[in-house]
Amino acid sequence: MDGFSVREARRSDLTAIGELWYELMTLHRRLDSRFQYSQEGISEYVRHTQRMMKTRDARVLVVEREATGQVVGYLTGELQPRVHGAIRGVYGFVSDVFIREECRRHGVGQALFAEIKRWFVLRGATSVQLYVSVANEDSQAFWRAMGLEPYLTLLHVDL
């Protein structure tokens, strides 16, 4: 991961995170037209991210180029309680990850995941869960390489 560093997101990173989220949603929309977002999507996502940054049960990480300080990726993760009647405790949930295309395959995603996984373990989580778009084969391959495997399948129908 030469030339990149992972750190906790700051308030000054929110604009860049919003732009990266928009790139993520554009990618998903290109892969699957069911991904929809409103005109207010970026500002809503930035507000959501800002709330996550303030809670002790969530973490927002960014990847920046060391030479320029440009934020080129981010990850959001949070602790979630187990469903009633299931194993007690919490699990780590990765809600969003995006890295600019030109920065992929340099260990950036691995570094982000290693940092959030470390934080989840420190906070008592016993597993990590996330959603991966069926149409996003690159993302599926990445997460399998990180050791994740299918657990539940989310089914969908438009009404």
39-56, pLDDT tens digit by residue? 788 999 999 999 999 999
Segment 13-38, tens digit of pLDDT: 999 999 999 999 998 888 888 888 77
Mean pLDDT of the region 118-141: 93
Give the domains, in start order, of the chain with CATH numbers. 4-145 (3.40.630.30)
Q: Would you state the pLDDT for residue 89?
A: 82
Residues 6+ apart with CB under 8 A from 16: 62, 70, 71, 74
Q: Would you state the pLDDT for residue 13?
A: 97
43-74 as b/e, with b when 16 or more CB fall inside 10 Å? Answer: eebbeebeebbeeeebbbbbbbeeeeeebbbb
Mean pLDDT of the region 71-93: 87
Confidence of residue 93 (pLDDT cuts 50, 70, 90): very high
CA angle 138, 142, 148 (to 5 degrees): 130
**Contact status, residue 18 vs residue 45, Cβ threshold 8 Å:** yes
Confidence of residue 1 (pLDDT cuts 50, 70, 90): low
Q: Is the pTM of this model over 0.85?
A: yes
Q: Would you state the pLDDT for residue 32?
A: 83
Mean pLDDT of the region 113-128: 96
**Contact status, residue 102 vs residue 41, Cβ threshold 8 Å:** no
